[in-house]
Each structure stands twice: as structure tokens, then as C-alpha cells.
Amino acid sequence: MPAAAPHHGRLTKRTGAQAPDWRDPKRHLWLLGTIVPGLVGLSWLGVHLTGDSAFWWCGAVITFMLVPLLDHLVGADTDGLADSALAWLEDDPFYRWATYLYLPCQYLSLVFACWLWAGGGWLTMSLSDKFGLMFTVGFIGGCAINVAHQLGHTRTRSEMRLAKIALAQSCYGHFFVEHNRGHHVRVATPEDPASSRLGESLYAFIPRSVVGGTISAWRIEARRLARHGRSPWTLRNHVLNAWVMSAALFAVLVLWFGVTVLPWLLGQAIVGVCLLETVNYMEHYGLRRQKLPNGRYERVRPDHSWNSDTMVANVFLFHLQRHSDHHANPLRPYQVLRHREEAPQLPAGYGSMMLIAMIPPLWRRIMDHRVLEHYGGDIRLAGLGSRAAKAYGIRGSATGLKAD
């Protein structure tokens, strides 16, 4: 990457410290994230100009073909971040607005898609076309979950509300509770439904994570409300009010465009959730925190998450691929997440790895030996699924496996 240009004279509101002579070379690239919700308009324009209905599938093409290709051509981004830049980077409102902008674009695209599904415009859509648009809208919703992920880690109430709004499209509002107060506490342990196990296929993981995460989120909120002497059946329940928000959104869209849009709305929500859970599957595959003599798990370290520092995907996903630093420092905003040398590295970016995860034998061929190498060949230290435990001659439960 080119040498960083100096950045002069700005003071942070939070600390009053002067900005160092350093500039974030990716500062304005973060605005590229708003291109993602524009895919509905891009699809429509492509079909209108060329007559080629393949443009309705541009979400899948960009995610699984174009971004991996650009990642390969551009390469990795492992440049260090100056310690002196941390305070003013965290305080700079530009980075927050880069995520805020996603939401209006997200919902404009959803309304536009509903208009198209309902027969709006002068383009006749076949069933295949509508499925293509459904997948494209689902990818937008899946990326919106990532935006909610960034907003949900703040302590600012307004950003927490925005996180719930971003999640409403995918009907995944409980993620707001489970990710922050469940996953981050239990990550890389057998108790975490969002941490995949060595030998576990993506198709076994997704239902386990969805069901387990939903139950966990409800229990977390029920316990919180019980401490205040309240029933969980109240709109003060963050899980319940998030689900009500999704139901209200879908009801408004159905009343506006007709019941014909309901199957497509449900379909795009499923696509968005599956996209998110596929990312969850990759981020902690086979990794395990060890139990200490006192029965508690060791502290979360960067080596409990898989990293990928491909430049292009990281920009579009707000550094989601720097997952190791995120778990080690969960309140650190995306713009200051760092490359961690000690973290295990995925062999490619998320777009490529998601495709590989969809083919379990290929995934295991590429990833299982990396897990073993990470633990120095000691399979007992890895997070094992039942299939892997049987293959390696280890018996017992997922929480207490023993070598034969």
C-alpha cells in the first residue's frame, strides 16, 4: 500500500488530544459499504439496459466471484496501526456515519425490491428472476447484520437502537442480545452454539446455532428482567421488542405491496441469516478455550478466532475478518481493529471460504489439518464434534472428551 499521508491538527472531542501525523489510508474506502444495499438498483438497471435477467443474481455473483477475485488481485492488508492514532480514530465521527449510512440505503432497497416483486415497473420478472432478486436482497440483509454487529458493540443507546433496526429485515433481532452477552462470553467453548466444532458440517451447524442462539438470547433477557422483578413477556424484553419490530416491518410491506411479497420477504430473511451463520461457522471452526483448574475457561485470546486480512472483503465488511482482535477487544470500533500475527489465518477471504464451507468434504480437507497444526497435533485441545471425536478415537461428551 502507498505510504500514509500526514494528518494534521484535529483534536478529539473525547480526549482533546491532537491527531498524530498519520492518516488512515482506508478512511474513505469505508463508504464503499453503502454500495452493497445499492445492488437492487444495480440489478434493475443492468436488466433494463441489457435485457439480461442474470443481473438479478448480482448479489451472489459479487459475493462469491467478484470480491474473491479482487481479494486475490489486491492482496492482504496487514499494515500496522500507530498506537498514537488509536484515540482520535476511535473518536472520529466519520467512521460511525459510514455505518449509519447503510441503514437508509438498506431500507430503500428493500422497498424497491418489494415494488419489483409486486409487479412494479415495466420489467416482467420470471420465477427465477424473483429468486435471484430474493438472494440479492438476502445478501444485503446479511451484510446489515454485520452493520448491526458493529453498532451493537457500542454503549450508546442510539446506536443500539440502530442495530435493532438493521436486524429487523432478517428477523434476527435476538442477535443483538445473544452476540454481545452470550457469544462473547462463551466463544470457543462447548456452551456456545455459534462456535463450530471440528468435523461439524455447515449444514449441521446452522440449525444448531440458530436454535441454540435464539433460546440463549431469550434466557439471557428473561434472567435480566427477573432480576428487576419483571416478566419476560414485556416490550422491555430486547428479544421480544426486536421481533415485534420485524413483524411490524413485514406487516407494513404486505399492506403496501400485497401478500404476494410475503414469501420473498421470508426467503430473503432466511438467506441473510444463513449468510451470517456461515460466517459464524468459519470464524471459530475447531478452536477451543481450555478449562482451568478452577472450572472456568481461560481468557479469550486472539488465537481463539480465525482471521483473514484480505483488503477488499475487509473494507466491505467493516473489518469483520479481523475477528481475533475483535474478540480480544470487543468494545474496539472496527476502524482500529488490528491484524494479529498470533491468530490462526484462513487461507482466503470470506467470499471464497463460504463457498468452500458449502462443500463439507472440501472444507474438511482444507481446514482440519490447519486446526491440528494450530494445536501442535494434539487433537484433544481442539473443539471436537462427535464425528471428529469418533474418527480420532476419542470418547465422551463434547465438554469432556477423553482419548482411548
Sign (positive or negative) of CA dihedral 85, 103, 67, 207 = positive
Cell of 180: 454481545
Task: Report the alpha-carbon distance of residue 267 to residue 119 in Å, rounded.
Answer: 18
In a structure prediction context, what are the per-residue pLDDT tens digits for the chain, which is 404 residues long?
333 333 333 434 444 445 556 677 788 888 888 889 999 999 999 998 998 999 999 999 999 999 999 988 888 876 666 666 677 777 788 888 888 999 999 999 999 999 999 988 777 899 999 999 999 999 999 999 988 888 877 777 888 889 899 999 999 999 989 988 888 899 999 999 999 999 999 999 999 999 999 999 999 999 999 999 999 999 999 999 999 999 999 999 999 999 999 999 999 999 999 999 999 999 999 999 998 998 899 998 888 999 888 888 888 888 888 888 888 877 788 887 777 778 899 999 889 999 999 999 999 999 999 999 999 988 888 888 776 677 666 665 444 444 33
CB 146 within 8 A of CB 320: yes
Domain count for the chain, please give it.
Answer: 1
- Residue 259, domain member (yes or no): yes
Max alpha carbon distance in the chain (Å)?
68
51: three-class secondary structure by DSSP: coil
Task: Report the alpha-carbon distance of residue 169 to residue 164 in Å, rounded.
Answer: 10
- Residue 249, domain member (yes or no): yes
Residue-number span of the structural domain to which 226 is assigned: 28-391
Residues 6+ apart with CB under 8 A from 139: 36, 39, 59, 60, 62, 63, 271, 272, 275
Task: Report the alpha-carbon distance of residue 153 to residue 367 in Å, rounded.
Answer: 29
Task: Report the alpha-carbon distance of residue 404 to residue 394 in Å, rounded.
Answer: 6
Length of the chain: 404
Q: Tell me what pLDDT residue 81 has.
A: 67
- Residue 187, domain member (yes or no): yes
Task: Report the alpha-carbon distance of residue 369 to residue 392 in Å, rounded.
Answer: 13
- Residue 1, domain member (yes or no): no
Q: What is the pTM of this model?
A: 0.88
Which DSSP string corresponds to 286-346? T--PPBPTTSPBPPP-GGGS-B--BHHHHHHTTTTT-HHHHHHSTTS-GGG----TTS-B-
- Residue 15, domain member (yes or no): no
CA angle 260–125–130, rounded 5-degree value: 60
- Residue 4, domain member (yes or no): no
11: three-class secondary structure by DSSP: strand
- Residue 11, domain member (yes or no): no
Query: What is the helix (H) or strand (E) element at residue 395, kind and residue range?
Result: strand 394-395
Q: Tell me what pLDDT residue 259 has.
A: 97
- Residue 13, domain member (yes or no): no
Radius of gyration, CA atoms only, the chain: 22
CA angle 216–235–221, rounded 5-degree value: 20
DSSP code at position 52: -
Phi, psi of 345 (to 5 degrees): -110, 130
